[in-house]
Amino acid sequence: MKAENAFVEFESDEKDSFPEIFELNIVSGGCRIYGYLLTPDKRIKGPYPTVIMSHGFPGYTTNNDIELALMRMGCVVIHMNHRGAWGSEGEYLFTNLTDDLIAIAKWAHNPAIAEQYGIDTDNLFIAGHSMGGQTVLNAAKDLDFIKGVIALAPYDIGAAFRYKLEKELFLMIETEGQCLKMNSASDVYENALFNQEKLGILYRYDELLKHNVLLVEAALDTIAPPELMLRPLAEKLKDGGCNMTFKTIKSNHSFVGQRMKLTQTVGEWIESITTGIE
C-alpha cells in the first residue's frame, strides 16, 4: 500500500489487471444490506489491507472519494448501506448500526471471503464519518481482530443527551431521515433515548485501548462539536496509553472543502499502521 498514490492512476488499464467493483449483499439481523466492494489494480500485489466504510446519518455525505483513493493506494474497500438506508432491507435504528458493522467485519474476516477478494485479514480496518464514526468506535469494542479504527468527526448520541442537544437530534432525524425506512421519527428518537448510554462512544471506552485508533476532528464542526463529542474520548484514550493519533482539520462537519487533506490523513495513517513506519 502506498498513500502517495491516492490521486495517481496507472497510465492505462490492462486486460488482466483491472481494478474491480463487486455488488454485495450481506445478511445482518435477518435483513439483506446492500453495497459494493472495490479491489485494486492487480499490478499491485495482494493480499490487500481492507477498509470497511460506515456511512453517516442518513448518508447524504458520501465517502466515495476516500474509497476510490484507498483503492488506488492498494486497499480493498467495502461500502455497505445500513439496515433501512439506501435500499437495504429492514428498519433504520441506531442500535442496528453496530450490529450491521460487526456482521460485515466478520464476513470480511472469513478465510473463504478473504481468499476470494484478496483481503489481508491481519490488516482489516473500519472507518466511518459522523454517525458512522460513532458506529465504528462502538463496533471496534467487540472486534478483537481488526487492525485499526478510524473515526472522522464522529457524532456521539451519548453526548447529545448529556449536553441537552435532544431537540437538535430529533430535528435531524425528522428532517434528514425522511429517506430512511423507519416507522416514525419518534421511534428512531426513542431508540436513541432508551439506549443513549451504550450508544455513547465513552461507553466501554477501555475496550478501544487495545486498538490502533485515528480520530479526526473538524475544527469548525457545529453538528458534532468536537469539544463535546470527540475530545473527551481522545483524552481518555491518551490517558489509557492507547496507540491513538489525533488530527485536526480546519473545516466543517462534512470536510467538504478539505476532502483531499482528509483522504491523505486517512491513507498515510493506514500506511503507517500496516508498515510500522511513522
Q: What is the mean pLDDT of residues 178-183?
A: 90
Q: Per-residue pLDDT for 116 more than 70?
A: yes
Distance CA 54, CA 14 (A): 31
Determine the length of the chain. Answer: 278
pLDDT at position 278 is 64
Distance CA 94, CA 169 (A): 12
| Residue ranges making up the domain that contains 270 | 3-275
Q: Per-residue pLDDT for 157 more than 90?
A: yes
Bridge partners of 39?
A: 20
Q: What is the mean pLDDT of residues 72-85?
A: 96
User: Model confidence over 13-71: pLDDT tens digits?
Assistant: 998 999 999 999 999 999 999 999 999 999 999 999 999 999 999 877 789 999 999 99
For a pLDDT cut of 90, what percent of the chain falls above it?
Answer: 93
What average pLDDT does the chain have? Answer: 95
Distance CA 178, CA 253 (A): 20
Please give the grid coordinates belonging to residue 73.
Answer: 493506494
Coil, strand or helix at 47: coil
pLDDT at position 61 is 75
Helix (H) or strand (E) holding 22: strand 20-28
pLDDT at position 276 is 81
Distance CA 196, CA 156 (A): 9
The pLDDT confidence band at residue 161, using thresholds 50, 70 and 90, is very high
User: Model confidence over 2-13: pLDDT tens digits?
Assistant: 999 999 999 999
pLDDT at position 177 is 87
pLDDT at position 233 is 97
Q: What is the mean pLDDT of residues 227-231?
A: 97
Q: How many independent structural domains does the chain possess? A: 1
* DSSP result, 100-163: HHHHHHHHHHSHHHHHHHTEEEEEEEEEEETHHHHHHHHHHTT-TT-SEEEEES---HHHHHHT
Q: What is the pTM of this model?
A: 0.95
Distance CA 204, CA 138 (A): 9
Q: In what order do the strands lie in the sheet with 212-218?
A: 20-28, 31-39, 76-80, 48-54, 119-129, 148-152, 212-218, 243-249
Distance CA 262, CA 93 (A): 28
- Whichever domain contains 253, its CATH number is 3.40.50.1820
pLDDT at position 251 is 97
Coil, strand or helix at 232: helix
